[in-house]
A and B are shown apart, each in its own frame.
Chain A
């Protein structure tokens, strides 16, 4: 293959025709071809999320669940708390799709009613967590220095408090109701969110574009709203998708130990607790439906959260 050095007469790969030896037309733009169309951060993330089948099926399940939570109790001919003792423990049938429970109440209706409660608790808890977390974490991270130091010490101490024990304590005193459960869940629940927001703000604060708008004399609140929050949104959304299922779990757990939402409401946790005995007598459906929906909702949120985490992580952006 190698050709010996001979300054005048080398013909490399002699089959190459002579007419190929012409200067190439220089295309001015060629060197600067952009390899792929640039997508915005959110478009890009969405594209990646759509590719994740598990996360998308989680999202689909949640959308169906929300729709059923809204229309389920309306389309059902039965009332949520209408007891019908002669018809207790009916197996699933054409009349009662999910069967009836120990009081003859329709499990199908109660399940969607429970979905309302569980989703409401989950979303409200997440919303309040985010609000407090963003304000607290934003201030702590943005101000920095002494303020940050003190605020972080407070967080560190709150973080050490056993979450569910505090919630139990509060509920024992306040008495269980929808409002008190949400309050109890958020009293210490926002701490995790505040930590994440602070971490993001600290990181983004030193980016050039933030420093630049600072040097123009932009007001702090504007910088936080326009620059920091949109950039910190990814991890916040991921944290939210994980807060919702943990709030749903907490509500179910509290129902289970007798601190749940009281009648006339029916949450999934209350339904599951009520039907514990039934399972031994073979009336599996009374437990199965609430248990299935608690688990599947948590599952859907978890896989969606995982998918979002992967989709929103700029490190994975190629």
Chain B
């Protein structure tokens, strides 16, 4: 399969008055053409920072991409000029934000906001832009598009606004769509509609999607592959099947146990105790160790390399080491 995006050893830091925050600490993942990758994790784990880094929308200062590569169609996005980056934003890579209530400018009409990206990048006439805008409104399922184009954001409901945000993101036919918590701010019934819209759009346009979320329900519905992120690192990646049926990392297991499932009767929800580490001074070992029920001494001392369990499934955990496995086996027999 063709890799459309390949992120290698990405580091993002923010300098604040209190010191340097290492928000993303060596993240590796890739995205194949036409697939949906979900990046899952608690708030503050660096998943949004990762997506902003791909768009090069990290506010600088205080933030900066300290190290690593973001290979998009053979180009390293960390190296291209700001001008070149502008021609990529909205055209090749688009982004959808969490809260549709704040993502639209309250003082401009929907039509203006929908068409301005198109008119910025492609020298099209007003009529052509409008025609395209109407097509997009139709695609994302907004009735009376002609009339709606002249309206302002406050005249739309939350779900409708998110549809418009999606239409704006897709109007230049990007190859990669980054959706940062696209359903978090919406009602549950609307969430399902928006997720269906994502599937429909992917079917029609073949766009690749990176979905940033903390909601495993969303992941289960539309993701092909999943990357689990914790404290600025990706601790486990795999296909949906790998992650949901054979999770290996204790954190992934913990996440799955803390989500209610309708298909298992009498199941008990188990929260993960404790809080993520302070990223001002991240631990040099595994960041999950203080909360991990299987923490060994090695976990505090060194971060484990990735282990490839099958061609799609990777995990960073000392329990994969033969010595860790032995210890685990002994515990089970005792």
Contact = CB atoms under 8 A, between A and B. Distances in A.
Contact between chain A and chain B defined by CB under 8 Å: yes
Interface of A: 1-5, 8-13, 16, 18, 20-24, 26, 30-32, 35, 318
B327 A21 contact: yes
Interface of B: 18, 273-275, 278, 289-291, 294-302, 304-310, 314, 318, 320-324, 326-327, 331
Given A8-B322, A11-B322, A32-B274, A21 B306 contact: no
B321 A31 contact: no
A9 B310 CA distance: 15
A9 B314 CA distance: 16
A22 B318 CA distance: 11
Contact of A1 (B273, B297, B302, B306): B306
Contacts of A31: 273-275, 290-291
Contacts of B295: 23-24, 26
Given A5-B309, A31-B274, A31-B291, A11 B323 contact: yes
Contacts of B307: 2-3, 5, 10, 12
Given A21-B297, A24-B299, A9 B18 contact: no
26 contacts: A2-B307, A3-B305, A3-B307, A3-B308, A5-B307, A5-B310, A10-B321, A11-B321, A12-B304, A12-B320, A12-B321, A13-B304, A16-B298, A16-B321, A21-B296, A21-B297, A21-B298, A21-B324, A21-B327, A23-B296, A23-B297, A23-B331, A24-B297, A30-B274, A31-B273, A318-B18
A32 B291 CA distance: 10
Contact of B318 (A3, A12, A32, A318): A12
Given A10-B321, A11-B322, A1 B305 contact: yes
A31 B289 CA distance: 10
A13 B285 CA distance: 13
B17 to A, nearest CB: 9
Given A2-B308, A31-B290, A13 B296 contact: no
The residue among A4, A10, A318 with the most chain B CB atoms within 10 A of its own CB is A10
Contacts of B322: 8-11
Nearest to B323: A21
B220 to A, nearest CB: 25
A12 B297 contact: no
Contacts of A24: 289, 295-297, 299-300
B310 A16 contact: no
A20 B324 CA distance: 10
Contacts of B324: 21
B305 A13 contact: yes
A39 to B, nearest CB: 15
Given A10-B307, A12-B320, A31-B274, A20 B296 contact: yes
Contacts of A12: 304-305, 307, 318, 320-321
Given A10-B322, A31-B273, A5 B304 contact: no
A289 B320 CA distance: 79
Contacts of A23: 294-297, 327, 331
